[in-house]
Structure 1
Amino acid sequence: MGDPKPRKVAIIGGGVIGGGWAARFLLNGFDVAVYDPAPQAPRQIGEVLDNARRALPAIYDRALPEEGLLRFCDTLEDAVSGAEWVQESVPERLELKHSVHAAIAAAAPENAVIGSSTSGFKPSELNSRGAGAIVAHPFNPVYLLPLVELVGAAGACARAADILQEIGMYPLIVRKEIDAHIADRLLEAIWRESLWLVKDGIASTKDIDEAIRMGFGLRFAQMGLFETYRIAGGEAGMKHFLAQFGPALAWPWTKLTDVPDYDDALVDLISGQSDVQSGDLPIRQLERRRDDNLVAILRALRVNGDAAGKVIGEHEKMFPLESMLEGLPVTARRRVPSTWTDYNGHMNETFYLEAGSKATDGFMELIGADSDYIAGGLSYFTVESHVRHLNEVHSGDMLTVTTQVLTGQGKKMHLFHRLHRGDGELAATVETLLLHMNLNTRATCLPELAVAQKLSGYAVEHAGLKAEGSGRFVGERKADIAPPPSVRAMSGEG
């Protein structure tokens, strides 16, 4: 049958948003063609890609698909030819968008999704000349934040939603078209009020940012606005909250219907305060700090499957693990994020155990001790682990973990994980002993028959394989086995 034909996406406009779209599609296995006549476009997209390659893999516990091919095109027609998705991200000028959409419609495949990143224009305005586009409005950084607002024809939005879910995004279909859609209208309200607070000398730009990130911003990341206010109503819920705070809406607290003049004095005041707040840091450093924090927040949200964390977990299920390596099942495969490295520049010992833990979870799925099994009140608990550090692992390395069953009888499951770097070198081993538990009684018990049979089957299959380094204790040295050079260097030998 041969390999399937690569799927192609076209990006028209290679700024921050266009670059983010390119990165999101590219790192999820799509080939990407970019058209942007600006000479700086390849550099700008290259810098966005550098950030994306560093950040996006860090939110997953499995490896992303093999990266697609990126190509810069000399013409729009070349870029959109054969594309199943065309994303326009040119500046917010309606006449410019009309001319670009006309060119896209004339050259793109008939069934291609044509999306616009516009933050304000409605589909009826975009399509006043018959282009057939939908609004597909993302949020920066596009390669990390999952939300995309879809506005337009129902059929096109449905097809777009399916593709967006394939690349780990959350399509929010807006029920009626309206200027600025949903999220930007909410942001605009905060922005207007913030401008007045600065103009009237009540708060600085830093004060306002602190009010958001130290307070309600933390709540919004996990439960949004209405659920936050429902909790604020206590046991009586939302009705109590509305009764208590609803009348305050009539008080003259805000200036949401007024807009301060964007005169030179206000521009100078805001830009000056912003320079004091963070102007000493280069923009790329700010972007990476933002991305690292977003990765940590997104991974935290995964724990309970909340909000964006649920989107990531569901997307990750689409990534298949390689079946076998050196005769053993691959139970974990992921790229090492920068957050796993320490002051020495290599992977911190904490995360070797985490990698081993994820491999144990992967093996449990193989034998049927999966989430449904655990929900039924049965699982395996780790009682002892031993890690050997054999070679350095750095940020960006691909880590592939195989699992060998040393013992799989009765209540015991004794596993030996091998952690391989992308270059094939064995980086570490994690030996783990687990006992089968009843989660209700918190006592050991025998596994269900189907799980026990699969586990013992792997044990028999792996019985003839060597597991060099298993059964070791801390500090044990064998005279006939020389440690790898990196270990000798770290221990002062050589």
Structure 2
Amino acid sequence: MTRKAAIIGGGVIGGGWAARFLLNGWDVAIFDPDPEAPRKIDEVLANAKASLPALSDVPMPPIGRLVFAKTVKDAVQDADYIQESVSEQLALKHRVYADIQANAPDAPLGSSTSGFKPSQLQEGAVNPATIFVAHPFNPVYLLPLAEVVPSPASNPALIERAKDILRDIGMFPLHVRKEIDAHIADRFLEAVWREALWLVKDGIATTEEIDEAIRMGFGLRWGQMGLFETYRIAGGEAGMKHFLEQFGPCLTWPWTKLMDVPEFNDELVDLIAGQSDAQSGHHSIRELERIRDSSLVGFMRALKDRDWGAGRVLNAHDAGRRKAALSGTDAAAAPLTLAHLQVLPGWIDYNGHMTESRYLFAGSETSDAFLRLIGAGMDYVAAGHSYYTAETHIMHLGEAKLGDRLTGSLQVLSADEKRLHVFIRIEKDGAPVATLEQMLLHVDMNAGRACPAAPEVLAHLFKIRDSHAALPRPPATGRHVGQRKG
């Protein structure tokens, strides 16, 4: 059953929320009086469509339906979840909540606020128990963190339901146990930001030099291990205790100006803005967003391969969708779209086209995703069993070039206890650029010979096999090298 999310406020953050819900199959209604809101949302959604699917190794659900509501009432009517992302003005938020709860008093109502506590948001509300903080990070459609902050007046059961909804769209709800101004993450960001302003104001570093210090150094560590695990390693074999003993005294040294704030005047604004323009003003904001998103996808996929940090959230989200895909009797009644790829610079040959090995790679990504879908992933391999590719026939039908986005789909032609015969299509814009026909054998890796697959794997496999039995057999099936077309 399709669910509905209402987004109140369609700026950068609200647009990110809308994109994440839409691409995870939710219908979305947005209310924003700004006449430019549809254009802005379309641009955010375009970025999300180009990046979020690349993080998934299972089929994305059909995109939800997007409507722009004329009133708050129209937006929140029958909404299963409401997210407020209006400007950081408490009086404005209170007026918006009054309008929302006059029409949907019992729906979970999360706020994207960076600083206000939930108890402040709940003041004067019709139903304060449904209001809480769900603070995301930009880009909302890629970064999984959402700080979920309740107050003593919040309904615990509703908070748990809201966390389940956030997990359903691939987010990581971090439950903040005690409300505090600016929650958790922004308090760190404020400290770093304040120190950075002093470094620029005092002429010690430029905006570019500060950014280089972060992205060439500790920023890379933080992205995978955070703060405390990073320092635990810095303590060597003795761990965190040794680190604290060695560096704890530094906390009393006058290294930082965290308690001081530089005077916020036109001179400081011009200094910061001028350096920032010189640093990256040759890129448009949309170009910078695409550069950011592409890099995030690459980094998060690396974490996903290691089942670490944000990658663990992505794997858990995939696992949930695999389970859902196998639960319906007609879930596999069509070739399964299983892989989303983009042609990268290292994939190109001297003709400017995707090299032959990468077509095989695209096919392998598709078949690997299928094996994970039926329960024969890395845990299964670690237990000593796997499917080995015994034979592959590839046909090149089109050209893929740098930047092209490809999808891989798979149709099961036949399967028994030991053998799996599949047909894979690699497509660009709905047109095939290659097909691969593969025969795989199930192998006992310790014995070094074929054997029947595990019953739970066969149950999933045969369900899909039986559903695919009614599909037309691809004309290219069974072709040999050099066989004429027609």
TM-score (norm: length of structure 1): 0.85
**Equivalent residue for 2:141, pick from 134, 140, 143:** 143
Deviation at 1:42, TM superposition (A): 1.0
Matched, 1:418 2:424: yes
Does structure 2 conserve the Cα–Cα contact (< 8 Å) formed by 1:368 and 1:451?
no
* Aligned residue number for residue 125 of structure 1: 120
Deviations 1:467-492 (A, max 9, x none): 736574xxx423x426xxxxxxxxxx
Relative distance call for 1:237 and 1:471 in structure 2 (3 A) is: farther
SS in 2 for 1:137: strand
Q: Distance in 2 between matches of 1:371 and 1:93?
A: 49
* Aligned residue number for residue 489 of structure 1: none
Taking the TM superposition and a 5 Å limit, the aligned residue runs for 1:421-432 are: 421=427, 426-432=432-438
SS in 2 for 1:90: coil
Deviations 1:268-290 (A, max 9, x none): 11111100100111111110010
Relative distance call for 1:172 and 1:345 in structure 2 (3 A) is: farther
**Equivalent residue for 1:354, pick from 361, 366, 373:** 361
Does structure 1 conserve the Cα–Cα contact (< 8 Å) formed by 2:393 and 2:436?
yes
Does structure 2 conserve the Cα–Cα contact (< 8 Å) formed by 1:83 and 1:112?
yes
SS in 2 for 1:61: coil
Deviations 1:407-430 (A, max 9, x none): x787xx574432064887554222
SS in 1 for 2:146: strand
Structure 2 unaligned blocks of 5 or more: none
Deviation at 1:360, TM superposition (A): 2.8
Deviation at 1:71, TM superposition (A): 0.8
**Equivalent residue for 1:225, pick from 196, 204, 227:** 227
Q: Distance in 1 between matches of 2:417 and 2:168?
A: 40
- Deviating runs (4+, > 3 A) in structure 1? 334-351, 362-372, 380-386, 391-399, 403-406, 413-416, 420-427, 431-439, 448-459, 464-472
Relative distance call for 1:61 and 1:342 in structure 2 (3 A) is: farther
Does structure 2 conserve the Cα–Cα contact (< 8 Å) formed by 1:134 and 1:156?
no
**Equivalent residue for 1:268, pick from 262, 270, 277:** 270
Relative distance call for 1:295 and 1:317 in structure 2 (3 A) is: same
TM-score (norm: length of structure 2): 0.86
* Aligned residue number for residue 62 of structure 1: 58
Letter of the 2:58 counterpart? R
* Aligned residue number for residue 116 of structure 1: 111
CA RMSD of aligned residues (A): 3.1
Does structure 2 conserve the Cα–Cα contact (< 8 Å) formed by 1:305 and 1:313?
yes
**Equivalent residue for 1:13, pick from 6, 9, 14:** 9
Relative distance call for 1:345 and 1:179 in structure 2 (3 A) is: farther
* Aligned residue number for residue 485 of structure 1: none
Q: Distance in 1 between matches of 2:56 and 2:457?
A: 31
The number of equivalent residue pairs is: 462
Relative distance call for 1:425 and 1:39 in structure 2 (3 A) is: closer
Does structure 2 conserve the Cα–Cα contact (< 8 Å) formed by 1:54 and 1:337?
no
Question: Is the deviation greater in 315-324 or in 365-374?
Answer: 365-374
Matched, 1:80 2:86: no
Deviations 1:254-276 (A, max 9, x none): 11111111111111111111001
Deviations 1:150-197 (A, max 9, x none): 111233321110100000000001010000000000101110111111
* Aligned residue number for residue 487 of structure 1: none
Deviation at 1:221, TM superposition (A): 1.1
Letter of the 2:225 counterpart? M
Does structure 2 conserve the Cα–Cα contact (< 8 Å) formed by 1:331 and 1:359?
no
